Each structure stands twice: as structure tokens, then as C-alpha cells.
Amino acid sequence: MPEKLDEKVGSSVAYKVEELWILAGVTAAGKTELSLEWAERNDAEIISCDSVSFYRGLDIGSAKPGLKDQKRVVHHGLDLADVSEVFDVGQFHAYANEVIEDMVSRGKKVLVVGGSGFFLQGFLQPVVDALEVSDEVRNHVNTTYEKYGLDTTLAQLGKLNPKGLGNLDTRNPLRVIRALERCLQSERSLIDLQKDFEKLPIPYAQFTKRMVWLDRKNDEIMDRINLRTQSMIDGGMIEEAEQAIRAGILRHPSLSQSVGYREIIKFIKEGGPRKDLVSSIVQSTRQLVSKQRKWFRKHFPTGSCLQVSTEKPLSVDQIPWVAGT
């Protein structure tokens, strides 16, 4: 590709227009090993784009890369916040911008790896949650949700949006909480904010994006989910969740509702057979995979889905990268 120079706003470092590689995929598809092999082969460093791996102490439930993997390839995006803190998509992409600029300045390729669609989306289009929210507003909204629940929080949001809430997922606590924060902070409706949002420039426009997402046949994915879930429980995920509760995860609505931790927190509170706990996590993970597939089909380029199989191991040289926006 031709060599061009692009000056990042607010930076004194000029660097060539580079390629941004995004290897995504559904849960249990096998992203970790493939990403490590590709990064080693191509002198790349990895930016983890998993919304649970951002948090310290949630190693088992997030399948966070271990020390052995981190010694093989430098990882960014791990252990950025305590479980009691909010680390939102705007904060993540501010962090990612800094990390990417540093990687490029050192001549490293950038490989983004993950399955969290909302955070991946920020590499492809403007992020509405990037609006800076004051601690006062954030505390007010969190207190409202914690004391009165989702319905009351949603009702308060509705009063600020007489023309409707657009396509907001009103049963998703995180989306409702973030929407209310934005409306209170900006004193504007979601519809007006969306209009402004659509005028923002495409993020990471100085990069040519190369994208692929991994999937497997249903029966293979389900077998891997079953094994993965049992391994996590046997490996101490219940104890990890207990520690997270002591560290304040219950003050973090979206994190405490993430797949696996949500079911274990309920198990800790209510008790019950472990086999029922495993079954509930497996069921929730299957539902998550279904949602992930829909998201990737909508947001990733046509032809970017790579079906992998245990029977036919894939070489990193065979990855069919597709150009993105």
C-alpha cells in the first residue's frame, strides 16, 4: 500500500497510514490461540476488546489470557479498572487511541481481539457513549437504579424524551443507564443526540481495517461451551465471584449482569445444585452466541465470517481478512 503520513490530532508524532487488524468471533470459537499465532508471526501486539477482561480480578469468567499467553505476545486492555468502577466505551477508546499510537510508533502491527460488539463498534463508527459524564450525574443515575430498579430509571428517561426513545434496548439496564446519563448531562433528548452523533467522523480513519470473525458449527460450539463452563466452575469461578462481590461488583449493574457472573451471584444468594448453576450458565452463553452472530452479520463486512473446525485446524496464513470501513 502507498506510504502516506497522517498527523493525529493533539499529537506531535507523525506516522504512516497503517492497517488495523480486527479478529473477532463468538464465545468459545477459538480466538485466543489463533490471535496469539498470528501476532507472533506478524510482530503484532494485541488489544483485548472484551468488556469483562477490562476489570481486575475477573480472570476465570472472562477467559482472560494468562501470564503464559501474555509472555508470548504483549497484551493491552486487561485489568484497567476495579469491579466497582465504570469503564465505558468512551474511556476504552481513549485508551485504545493512545495504545495504538504507541504501537505504531514502535513499528508494531495492531491486532484487536474480542467478542464484545458494543466496544468493537467503536473501531468502526462513532461512539455515542463517548460523551463525558460528570461524577454527580453518574452517581445520581446509579443511585436511582440501585434504589428503585430499571422501571423507575426508564420512566425518568421517558420524561426527558417525549418524542420517544428510538431503538434503545429498554430491557438492558446498561443501555438505559447510559442513555439517562447522556440526557441529564447534555440536557438534550436521545433523538437530538443521535443527530449530532451521526455527523461525527469515522473513528480510526487513518487505518485500513482488515477484519474477520470466527464461528463454528452449532454442535461444536455447544460442546465447547459445555466444557468451558464446567472448567470455569471447577477452576474457581464461584470463589472469584465471591471476591468480586466483596470488591463491589454489585454496584456495577452491567458487570454484575454479565454472563456467568450473573448466574453465580444468584447461586451465591439463593443456593441450589451446582449442576443447575452450570446448566444456567451454558444456556445464557448459548443465547449470547446467538446475539453475537446477529451483531457480527450486521456490522462486519460480507464474507468476513470464518468457519473453523477442530477436525481441520486453521493456519494463520489461511485467514481471509476482509477490508472494512
**Quick check: 319 and 212 in contact, CB under 8 A?**
yes
pTM (two decimals): 0.84
Q: Are strands 75-76 and 44-48 parallel, antiparallel or unpaired?
A: parallel
Task: Collapse the DSSP code of 77 into the 3-class scheme (helix H, G, I; strand E, B; otherwise coil) and give the result.
Answer: coil
Task: Give CA–CA dist 232/16, Å, rounded.
Answer: 43
Greatest Cα pair distance in the chain: 62
Task: Give CA–CA dist 72/68, Å, rounded.
Answer: 7
Q: Sketch the domain layout of the chain as residue ranges.
A: 5-126+201-323, 131-197
Please report which confidence band the pLDDT of residue 12 belongs to, taking 50, 70 and 90 as the band edges: very low
Task: Give CA–CA dist 170/290, Å, rounded.
Answer: 19
Within 10 A of 303 (CB to CB), how many other CB atoms are there?
Answer: 10
Q: Percent of the chain, pLDDT > 70? A: 94
Architecture of domain 5-126+201-323: 3-Layer(aba) Sandwich (3.40)
Extract the C-alpha cell encoding 149.
430498579
- The pLDDT score that the predictor gives to residue 174 is 81
Angle between helices 274-299 and 218-234 (to 10 degrees): 130
Encode pLDDT of 205-257 as tens digits.
989 999 999 999 999 999 999 999 999 999 999 999 999 999 999 988 889 98
Would you list the DSSP string of 1-47? ----EEEPTT-S-EEE-EEEEEEEE-TTS-HHHHHHHHHHHHTEEEE
Give the distance from CA 35 to its chain's centroid: 16
- The pLDDT score that the predictor gives to residue 11 is 34
Q: What is the CATH number of domain 131-197?
A: 1.10.20.140
Exposure string over 152-177, b if 16+ CB within 10 A, otherwise e: ebbebbeebbeeebeebeeeebbbbb
Task: Give CA–CA dist 44/228, Å, rounded.
Answer: 27
Cα→Cα distances 202→209, 241, 273, 324, 325, Å: 12, 38, 49, 12, 8
Task: Collapse the DSSP code of 307 into the 3-class scheme (helix H, G, I; strand E, B; otherwise coil) and give the result.
Answer: strand
DSSP state of 192: H
Amino acid sitting at position 131? L
**Quick check: 307 and 216 in contact, CB under 8 A?**
yes
pLDDT for residue 266 is more than 80: yes
- The pLDDT score that the predictor gives to residue 171 is 83
pLDDT for residue 17 is more than 80: no
Element (H, E) at 84: none
- The pLDDT score that the predictor gives to residue 4 is 32
Average pLDDT across the chain, whole number = 90
Element (H, E) at 157: helix 135-159
Instruction: Show Cβ contacts of residue 249 under 8 Å, excluding neighbours closer than 6 positions.
Output: 83, 84, 241, 255, 256, 261, 265
